[in-house]
Structure formats: C-alpha cells, structure tokens
Amino acid sequence: MPTYKLIYFNARGYGELARLLFAVAGVPYEDIRVERASWPNEYKAICPFGQMPLLEVDGKILAQSSAIARYLAMEFGMAGKDNWEQARIDMVVDSFGDILQDMRVPYLETDPEKKEALVKQFVGESLPKRLGYLENILKENGGGQGFIVGDSLTWADLGVANSVDYLKLMCPNPFENFPLLAGLVQRVREIPQVAAWIAKRPETAT
C-alpha cells in the first residue's frame, strides 16, 4: 500500500474532501496540519502552484484540491463505474467550483455595507439558483433518495456533504429549501466512517 501524506493548514477548507475520502476508505495517512505563519518556509518551495493542499504519495507530490480528491477517489473506488459516471461526477464537483467563485466576492469584500449587499445577493439569488440545478440532478437519479451519480457512494456525494461547512459561513441553513440535497447530506454524514471522522476531527473555524 502506498504511503500517503496530506499537507494542508489546520482547517477543513480545501483539504477536507480528501480527509473524508481517506476516512471512508479506511486508508491510513499522515494528516500534516501546517501553521499559516510557518508554511512559506516549510512547504511553499515544494508546492507546484505555490499553494496547498498537497498530497504526497510515496514521496511524489500532487497539488490542486480537486485533482487530489479525484485521484484518491479513483484509488479507493469512489470515482464512478464508467466514463459517463466519472464525467457526471466531475460535472457536479465543478458546479461547486462555481458556487465558491460566487462566494469569493462577498467573502473578500472589506467594506461592511458592500459586503452586506453582496452576501444578500449571494444567499438570495446565486446560491439558490445553483443549488436548484443540483437538486434537479439529484432528483433525476432515481428520484433523489440515493446518490447524486450512479447507485453507490462517490466523491461527488462527499463533496455535497462537505459543502455545508463552507456554505454556512454565509447561509446558516443552505439546503433548507432543497430537501433532496438535505437528505443526501444527512445520509452521507450518517455513514459510520464519516460520522466517526466528524466526531474526532480537530475543531477549526473553517
């Protein structure tokens, strides 16, 4: 079995989906949590794109959070059963990239009045629109009572469940009006390995 090291800040953020994949697969890895003040001197030199997370596999480095999660999902049998399912999974995961891009503007805004208006627009318009697309995709897959792609757990399901943590930064109950997505999140979080990881993971702000 390969030796894995996941290198990221002491936060959930862009590293948590990989941690969830390790948890579900039951595969051991070293969860290296780097202090923000020290990472430029300790790890930046080995970052292909000057940022984390990094996955080290037997001494080889892989960067970019989606590439890391996709690789682990393929290694652990959670990347879809054929090319079509893999493409559909990528489609779902990429849609959360769109949501994060929408979040970026209000999140980084420093003027209080502008920030309030931007958050209101995100929560009231762009987020419901994008979650509505995902609700429909989930419903199309067997009525929405199972998984978002195919008939078994994939990293897309873990990605949906993981999204709750960062969406709550701006919206306390992001899936309130999307019962199928809310149900999927609950089902994923009730998976014993996922529940165990959430219970024991370090408490962090993000």
Q: Write out pLDDT tens, residues 126-184.
A: 999 999 999 999 999 999 999 999 999 999 999 999 999 999 999 999 999 999 999 99
CB neighbour class for 1 (10 Å; exposed up to 12, middle 13-18, buried from 19)? exposed
Q: pLDDT for 58-88, tens place per residue?
A: 999 999 999 999 999 999 999 999 999 999 9
pTM: 0.95
Strand order across the 54-57 sheet? 30-34, 4-9, 54-57, 60-63
**Got the DSSP string for 65-88?**
HHHHHHHHHHHHT-S-SSHHHHHH
**Peptide bond preceding 53 in cis form (omega within 30 of 0):** yes
The whole-number pLDDT of residue 31 equals 98
Sign of the C-alpha dihedral, residues 25, 27, 33, 34?
negative
- Return d(Cα 25, Cα 22) in angstroms, integer: 5
* 188, 153 Cβ separation under 8 angstroms: yes
Task: Say which residues have a Cβ less than 8 Å from residue 122's Cβ, sequence separation at least 6.
Answer: 102, 103, 105, 106, 170, 171
